[in-house]
Structure 1
Amino acid sequence: MTLKPPLRPVSISTRFGSAVRMTELAGIAGELGADQIWVAQLPDHRDATILSSMFLQAAPAALVGTAVLPAYARHPVSTAQAALTLSEFSGGRFALGVGYSHQFVNEYVLGCRPGPPIGAMRDYLRIVTDLIEQGASTLEGRHFTGRAQYGSPRGPVPLFLAALRPQMIRLAVQRCDGILLWLCTPRYIREHVTPVVREACAKFGKDPEQFQVLTLVPTHVTDDPGDAYETATRQIQAYRLLPYYRYVLEANGELDPRELTLFGTKDQIRAQMEVYRGAGTTPVIAPFAETPDEFAETVTAAFEQ
């Protein structure tokens, strides 16, 4: 599938206030020109697919996607059903972002015995794409099985995969329309992601300019980012408990939170966004905002011409 390159992508956290407030933010983002709105899925917060249906109504010109649904929280047949329903409902404006997640979520929270990441996600993506593209799956995989049909109308569903390391990136290029990154510095992307994407695109016959590499980045417009940096530093330290993120955070030595955020004045935010673009990714702003006015101010600072 050929996707329009995003110009003004925004992410909204499921931690932000009430569901009604979050939907209000999606409407604000749409009014300010956001062309993609990504809904975070956290293990202890709201369901991103249901929020996506609300966001699709609130922002009728934007593509809305999940970033990302943990594979073991939802069987691939159910995931495909939800994605196809949201695509039909919105006229093809829903994007499905999925990921393997983490040992803590898969084993402790969900009580699953997950298979190896690449093998499990290969089965998962095969079932999802077969149902989306053909309306049927007959896969009896080592990690997921889907013997199912989908009889309702089927529309396009762009597929994104959370992928931080080479094997998962290659799988994403083979099976998906893009990847979603989090807690990645421009240097990490330039050295560890972009070369793998280009190599895999050459192998699988894809145009690297059409394969979307999106990086969610905490964003806050302010003349004094000190408090925001303190908050971001605490959150980053918590992510070090998860092995996949610890690998990324430690890949290039000691990190400065300024490398992982878009905090500062409008000019500073835009300058850092260009650094991300130069590394081979589109930054997706994830506003640090306590109120709708702060949210709008941050979105405006990042994108207003």
Structure 2
Amino acid sequence: MSRWGLTIPLTGVPLAEHRKTVEGLTDLGYTDAWSAEASGADGFTPLALASQWGPQLRLGPAIVPVYTRGPGLLAQQAATLADLAPGRFVLGIGTSSQVIVERWNGIPFTEPYRRVRDTLRFLRRALAGEKVSDEALGVSGFKLETPPRTPPPIVLAALRPGMLRLAAREADGAITNWLAPHDVPKVRAEFGTEKELIARIFVCPTSNADEARALGRRLIAAYLTVPVYAAFHEWLGRGERLAAMNEAWAAGDRKAALAAIPDEVVDDLLVHGSPDECRERVRAYVDAGLDTPVLAVLPNSEIPITDAVRALAP
């Protein structure tokens, strides 16, 4: 059986109230807990708590940006989590997006491929306990005071061929996002089959398709109008079906942008239906070549989100 992950924190549930849920994940069949980092909780704090609440879970951020922390601080935080969860921590890094890096953090989003590559190489050496200098990153003589006893695997966020190939060559796996089961073989064709492929899958367990699609449209418009995701879906072959959304969004007409997203695109990218139907749809990703589905459970009016976690267990 494949791994079966959950995104934490759960939407609308305070982080301090996650203990009972995290403690029960292993008994439900979940193997992983993965955080995220955008404008909510940071990527590391939920994992530090989960390392103590769920001592059998594999943990990882999917992902933390390589721009918003200095390389040394990123190595320190990774080393801390690796010591809290020895052998169970996976470091997920990536470019993030222009919105998060430039608009929200005031940091130039320049040369993303090179930045990820150089940060990956720096982290490999730093987490192994080496003293590292890297002119491209502006690092001189950094050495961790306490390197982790078990250096963590490093996986890269990868949406298109260049980053997928970098992940295949130099990382321990790849993380992708916002794709349908039938997209997985195209990703695998660039990434290969030797290393772990992880994907966050947005899941809305409800029989109310209209509610699920309305939520899906809001998320799709927020994500897929961002240049890195727009390019990803152009590569996947959805460019024409998303063109009207992108045009309306660029013109500032948010209502028209939402209305322009076809139902078939929403149903491709958002898993919805009864919990049993959702579970089978997630398994379709695995059948298509995904190693680790990471469920991002979306709140809805039909089932409380903590109940949904139990209902969606493998």
Task: Give the TM-score category using the shorter length.
Answer: 0.7 to 0.9
Rounded to whole Å, the distance in 2 between the matches of 1:144 and 1:66 is: 24
Consecutive unaligned residues of structure 1, counting only runs of 5 or more, are 199-207
Q: Does 1:73 align with 2:83?
A: no
**Counterpart Cα distance in 1 of 2:154 and 2:16:** 27
Q: Does the 8 A contact of 2:206 with 2:212 survive in 1? A: no
Q: Counterparts of 1:113 and 1:266 in 2: how far apart (Å)?
A: 42
Shift of 1:146: 4.9
Which residue of structure 2 aligns with residue 131 of structure 1? 126
Mapped to 1, the partners of 2:265 and 2:196 lie a distance apart of 26
Q: TM-score, normalised by structure 2?
A: 0.83
Equivalence for 2:113: 118
In structure 2, C-alpha distance between the alignment counterparts of 1:234 and 1:212, rounded to whole Å: 30
Aligned to 1:276: 285
Question: 1:141-290, aligned counterparts within 5 Å?
Answer: 141=136, 143-154=137-148, 155-191=150-186, 193-198=187-192, 208-209=193-194, 211-250=195-234, 251-253=236-238, 254=241, 255-281=264-290, 282-289=292-299
Q: Percent identity, aligned pairs only? A: 26
Higher-RCO chain (CA-CA 8 Å, sequence separation at least 6): 2
Match of 2:272, SS? strand
Change in CA separation of 1:188 and 1:13 when aligned onto 2, cut-off 3 Å:
farther
Q: One-letter code of the match for 2:70?
A: H
The aligned counterpart of 1:19 is: 15
2:232 and 2:18 map into 1 onto residues whose CA distance is 29
Displacement, 1:256? 2.0
Gapped regions of structure 2 (runs ≥ 5)? 242-263
Q: CA deviation at 1:16?
A: 3.1
Which letter does structure 2 place at the counterpart of 1:166? P
Match of 1:33 in 2: 29
Structure 2 SS opposite 1:219: strand
Question: 1:202 maps to which residue?
Answer: none
Confirm or deny: 8 A CA contact 2:68 2:107 kept in the other structure.
no
Specify the code of the residue in structure 2 equivalent to 1:69: V
Q: Structure 1 residues 97, 6: CA separation in 2 closer, same or farther (over 3 Å shift)?
A: farther
Tell me how large the CA RMSD over aligned residues is: 2.3
- Which amino acid in 1 is paired with 2:198? L
How many pairs were matched up? 286
For 1:55, what is the secondary structure of its paired residue? helix
Between 212-221 and 61-70, the greater mean CA deviation after superposition:
212-221
Within 1, Cα distance between the matches of 2:295 and 2:80?
27
Name the residue aligned to 1:302: 312
SS of residue matched to 2:61: strand
1:9 to 5, 9, 13: 5
User: Secondary structure of 1:113's match?
Assistant: coil
Q: Does the 8 Å CA contact 1:30/1:59 hold for their aligned counterparts?
A: yes
Q: Which amino acid aligns with 1:285?
A: L
